[in-house]
Amino acid sequence: MRGRLGKYMLFGKRERLIRRILIVEDEPLVAFDSEHMLKEAGYVVVATVDSLDTARAVIGREPLDLVLTDISLNGQGDGTDVARAARERGVPVLFVTAHCIDEAPLLALGCLAKPYSERVLKGALEALDRQLQGRRSRKLPAQLTLYEQGSPDPSGVGTGTGPGREEG
C-alpha cells in the first residue's frame, strides 16, 4: 500500500525512513553499545568508525539514512566535519555527545546528550523518523534536542541518498 509520504504497512503504521545508519564514535565501548542497540532494534549499521577520514569514505560510497556522530573523534577533524560531509550527500545527522555545540542547529537535525540508554536512543531515532516524515512527536526523550532548521542541505529538500530520496 502506498500513501502520500511513501510506503505504509498494514493498520496505518508507517515504514521507517531511517534504516541504514553510520555510527561515528571514538569511544570503543560507546560505539559497541550503540551498534548493538541499533541492530537489536532492527536498524542496519552500515559501519562503525572512529575518525573523519573513515567516515568520509563510508559517506561517499554507501547509501545512508542517518549519520550518528560524536563531536570528538580520533585524528584530524571532528563531528562537525563529519556533519558537513554528510550534508554534502544529503544525509541527515544526529550528534551524540556529552556537550552539544552552538553550531549544531546548522549542521544536524538534533543532538542527543550522552550517556543515553537503549530506550532513549530508540526514542530519539523514532522522533527523528517522524520529523523526517513531516510529523511531530508527542513526547521527546529528555536528552534529545531537535532543530527545526537542521536540514540535509541549505534548500531543506535534500539531494543525496538519505531518507525519502532515490539514488540516481
CATH number of the domain within which 72 lies: 3.40.50.2300
The three-state secondary structure class of 110 is strand
Asked, for residue 165, whether it belongs to a domain, the answer is no
- CA dist 88 and 109 (Å) reads 15
Mean pLDDT score across all residues of the chain: 84
| Percent with pLDDT over 70 in the chain | 80
Higher pLDDT among residues 6 and 142, named by residue: 142
Contact 75, 52 (CB under 8 A): yes
Contact 45, 36 (CB under 8 A): no
Asked, for residue 6, whether it belongs to a domain, the answer is no
Structural domain including 94 reads 17-146
Cell numbers at 53, concatenated: 577520514
Q: Please return the burial class of 114, using the count of CB atoms within 10 Å of its CB with bins 0-12, 13-18 and 19+.
A: middle
Asked, for residue 126, whether it belongs to a domain, the answer is yes
Whether residue 168 has pLDDT greater than 70: no
58 phi/psi in degrees, rounded to 5: -65, -45
Q: Which residue has the cell 537535525?
A: 109
Q: Which residue has the cell 523518523?
A: 129
Asked, for residue 160, whether it belongs to a domain, the answer is no
Q: Which residue has the cell 534504516?
A: 19
Asked, for residue 40, whether it belongs to a domain, the answer is yes
**Structure confidence by residue, pLDDT tens digits, 98-157:** 988 899 999 999 999 999 999 999 999 999 999 998 888 788 999 999 987 544 443 333
Asked, for residue 161, whether it belongs to a domain, the answer is no
| pLDDT score of 139 | 86
Higher pLDDT among residues 8 and 114, named by residue: 114
- CA dist 106 and 89 (Å) reads 15
Asked, for residue 98, whether it belongs to a domain, the answer is yes
How many domains does the chain contain in total? 1
The three-state secondary structure class of 106 is helix
Asked, for residue 3, whether it belongs to a domain, the answer is no
Contact 69, 79 (CB under 8 A): yes
Let me know how long the chain is. 168
